[in-house]
């Protein structure tokens, strides 16, 4: 195919003239112009001049089976000719029904009803509102406060931002936000000398318990990212935390909202992250990977007992929330194709092999003097670059150095992480580890240790 020289820069310039890019300080866009991607193929993104990039973050954690996956695409094409969309109020359609049924079956029927939305943040808004409204319908309208974890991230809309603790996203809007309680994150990196991950989890849970003890009559819900706080920089915690949290929520009558938008769909090793703790929350938010990186889809699953609290002759006691594209048929059909792949390809088991291969290839980094807190859970790897090696604009420089090595990678602050699509093979794992190490060498050369500089906050 003819690939004109300069095609990239033409798209970049047109983009900068007309698009206000998300999560971007546009003043930096000239120095870090957007990659103009023409097509995707498996884990590769290919620009307009034929240069390929390995999508090391699965395009903001959404892509599970590579780009332009043939099976998901075939399902989408079939659905496109039948029914691209119909509103889900007063109508229903097979892809939404089947998706709700199959997801519920994955919870052994514990979460029996599914409410659809579009982006992750809208699912978070729904879960918060639903929890509050369910307490209200039960005559407990005093329960209207929310609890979230320090370093937690739940999206950018005002309700989701109110339960988010990432300063760079939140601070400007702080005056607009409802007040939520923040409690200690169980992030294992906080372990003191002799402390285990379970000890840190217990410490964090004790702080939560103290809050519940004093405020539970006013608290509607606790929202957490189970096992991995993604936007905090892949902060990982022990599953023991989730078990204790479940018990505390039961004891103090607080809804437990598991935001599995980033960690669901097999990312941590089980389909739902909560499975690793052997618990079910009262609400699960899913998005991102559920439609395999094709179309926006999010949903909130909840227990039938909660659903039933909304049944009444009074319309206003129902949950009247909606979005125009709620339960979009194409997106649901893509999600069914994703679930088919999990079933047909034994994805969770295969991912264990993939994870072992990449962990092996990355093993030398665990002992690299520039690296601390090397960690892994399922198909997520992360490490922090030690302060002396960080320097100014670390994330940006690492990202650009990655581009020069066929990597699309975006550190969060000084945390470098990998969240690749589930299509890695052994050879690609070795290649990826080599390129990540070469990128680290280019950016955090031991010769150039920056003894007294600090890292700037960065975006995911
Ligand atoms: C845990 C978590 N919750 C919510 C969101 C928000 O999802 P969206 O960007 O689709 O609104 C994200 C996005 O990164 C996330 O990681």
Q: Which residues does 456 contact at the CB level (< 8 Å), separation at least 6?
A: 392, 393, 394, 395, 413
- Under 8 Å between Cβ of 256 and 282: yes
State the distance from the centre of ligand 1 to the C-alpha of 214, rounded, in angstroms. 30
- For residue 5, the model assigns a pLDDT of 73
Position of tokens 């992030």?
A: 187
Determine the distance separating the centroid of ligand 1 and the alpha carbon of 124, expressed in angstroms.
9
The best mutation among 58, 225, 262, 331 to test binding of ligand 1, ranked by most ligand atoms within 8 Å of the C-beta, falls on 262
Q: How many CA atoms lie within 13 A of 442 on its CB side?
A: 17
Q: Which DSSP state fits 268?
A: T
Distances in Å between the Cα of 352 and the Cα atoms of 10, 143, 317, 358 are 42, 42, 45, 10
pLDDT value of residue 456:
41
- Map tokens 């679930």 to a residue: 339
318 annotated to a ligand binding site: no
What string of pLDDT tens digits covers the 460 residues of the chain? 556 678 999 999 999 999 999 999 999 988 999 999 999 999 999 999 999 999 999 999 999 999 999 999 999 999 999 999 999 999 999 999 999 999 999 999 999 999 999 999 999 999 999 999 999 999 999 999 999 999 999 999 999 999 999 999 999 999 999 999 999 999 999 999 999 999 999 999 999 999 999 999 999 999 999 999 999 999 999 999 999 999 999 999 999 999 999 999 999 999 999 999 999 999 999 999 999 999 999 999 999 999 999 999 999 999 999 999 999 999 999 999 999 999 999 999 999 999 999 999 999 999 999 999 999 999 999 999 999 999 999 999 999 999 999 999 999 999 999 999 999 999 999 999 999 999 999 999 766 666 544 444 444 4
Q: Is 121 annotated as a binding residue?
A: yes
Q: Is 169 in the pocket of ligand 1 (CB under 6 A)?
A: no
- Both tokens assigned to 273: 């992250």
CA of 447 relative to ligand 1 center, distance in Å: 38
* Residues 268/248, Cβ–Cβ less than 8 Å: no
Q: Is the CB of 342 under 6 A from ligand 1?
A: no
CB 412 within 8 A of CB 458: yes
Name the packing angle between helices 329-344 and 94-106 (round to 10°): 40
Q: Is 221 in the pocket of ligand 1 (CB under 6 A)?
A: no
For ligand 1, mutation pick of 261, 295, 459 (most atoms within 8 Å of CB): 261
Nearest atom of ligand 1 to the alpha carbon of 230: 16
Q: Tell whether 77 is in a known binding site.
A: no
Q: Ligand 1 pocket, 120 CB below 6 A? A: yes
Q: What is the pLDDT of residue 349?
A: 98
pTM score, whole prediction: 0.96
How far CA 4 is from CA of 1, 11, 13, 45, 50, in Å, comes to: 10, 12, 15, 18, 9
State if residue 155 touches ligand 1 by the CB under 6 angstroms criterion: yes
Distance 155 CA to ligand 1 centre (A): 5
Q: What's the helix, strand, coil split of the chain in %, to 5? A: 45, 15, 40
Looking up tokens 């103290």 gives 210
Question: 288 a known binding residue?
Answer: yes
Question: What pLDDT is attached to residue 447?
Answer: 67
Give me the residues paired with residue 182 across strands: 148
The span from the CA of 190 to the CA of 200, in Å, is: 7
For residue 149, list its beta bridge partners.
183
pLDDT for the residue 235: 98
Ligand 1 mean position, distance from CA 298 (Å): 10
Report how far ligand 1's centroid is from the alpha carbon of 209 (Å).
Answer: 27
């Amino acid at each position: 195919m003819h690939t004109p020289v300069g095609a990239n820069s033409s798209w970049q310039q047109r983009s900068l003239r007309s698009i206000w890019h998300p999560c971007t300080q546009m003043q930096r866009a000239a120095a870090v112009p957007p990659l103009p991607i023409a097509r995707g193929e498996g884990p590769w993104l290919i620009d307009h001049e034929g240069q390929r990039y390995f999508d090391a973050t699965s395009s903001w954690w959404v892509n599970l089976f590579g780009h332009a996956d043939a099976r998901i695409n075939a399902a989408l094409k079939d659905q496109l000719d039948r029914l691209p969309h119909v509103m889900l109020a007063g109508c229903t359609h097979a892809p939404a029904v089947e998706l709700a049924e199959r997801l519920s079956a994955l919870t052994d029927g514990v979460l029996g009803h599914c409410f659809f939305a579009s982006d992750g943040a809208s699912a978070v808004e729904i879960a918060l509102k639903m929890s509050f409204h369910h307490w209200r319908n039960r005559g407990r309208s005093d329960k209207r406060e929310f609890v979230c974890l320090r370093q937690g991230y739940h999206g950018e809309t005002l309700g989701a931002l109110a339960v988010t603790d990432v300063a760079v996203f939140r601070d400007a809007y702080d005056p607009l936000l409802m007040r939520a309680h923040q409690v200690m994150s169980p992030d294992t990196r906080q372990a003191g000398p002799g402390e285990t991950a379970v000890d840190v989890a217990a410490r964090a849970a004790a702080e939560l318990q103290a809050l519940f003890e004093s405020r539970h009559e006013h608290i509607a819900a606790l929202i957490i990212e189970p096992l991995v706080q993604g936007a905090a920089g892949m902060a990982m915690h022990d599953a023991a935390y989730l078990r204790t949290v479940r018990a505390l929520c039961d004891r103090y009558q607080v809804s437990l909202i598991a935001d599995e938008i980033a960690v669901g769909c097999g990312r941590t090793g089980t389909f739902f992250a909560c499975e690793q703790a052997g618990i079910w929350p009262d609400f699960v938010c899913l998005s991102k990977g559920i439609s395999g990186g094709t179309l926006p889809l999010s949903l909130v699953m909840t227990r039938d007992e909660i659903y039933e609290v909304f049944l009444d002759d009074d319309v206003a006691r129902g949950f009247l929330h909606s979005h125009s594209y709620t339960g979009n048929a194409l997106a649901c059909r893509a999600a069914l194709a994703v679930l088919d792949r999990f079933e047909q390809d034994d994805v969770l088991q295969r991912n264990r092999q993939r994870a072992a291969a990449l962990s092996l290839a990355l093993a030398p980094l665990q002992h690299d003097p520039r690296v601390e807190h090397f960690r892994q859970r399922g198909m997520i790897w992360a490490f922090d670059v030690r302060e002396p090696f960080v320097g100014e604009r670390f994330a940006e420089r690492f990202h650009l150095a990655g581009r020069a090595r066929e990597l699309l990678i975006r550190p969060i602050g000084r945390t470098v992480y990998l969240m690749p699509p589930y299509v890695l093979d052994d050879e690609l794992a070795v290649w990826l580890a080599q390129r990540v190490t070469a990128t680290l060498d280019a950016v955090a050369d031991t010769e150039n240790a920056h003894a007294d500089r600090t890292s700037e906050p960065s975006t995911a």
